[in-house]
Amino acid sequence: MEEDPNSTLVDPWNGTKQESFRKALKEAIMSGFALTEAANGAKRFRTKETKVSAVNTIYSLLQCTPDLSSEQCERCLKDAIGLIPLCCDGKEGATILLPSCNVRYEMFPFYNQTSNSKETKPKG
């Protein structure tokens, strides 16, 4: 598992209503559910949609390289997610790239929702 070098790409816009945005972002990518499914899935990725408000949704993707074990994938994703408060706090979108995994979230769909329909339906 490789974690260095790492890189981040950050949207310049801040999310509105920061508290609800941070809460939704935490549910979208930092929840154990999304992380565990990404680490244990056959394809080592997970997409998820999380409502911020009636009109705003966070679209997120967690992904590892296929050579990682479930434990390595989970550790890599946790390390990538741990960089979010340092680089991207409150930003509407960001991509955290490590050689063995990546995390991305945006306020627009950036992946094909129909091909991943089982994995992208919002919960609740």
What is the helix, strand, coil percentage profile of the chain, to 5? 35, 25, 40
Question: Among 14-23, 41-50, 69-78, 97-106, where is mean pLDDT lowest?
Answer: 14-23
0.85 exceeded by pTM: no
3-state secondary structure of 49: strand
Calculate mean pLDDT across residues 39-53: 87
Q: Classify 7-106 by CATH class.
A: alpha beta
User: What are the structural domain ranges in the chain?
Assistant: 7-106
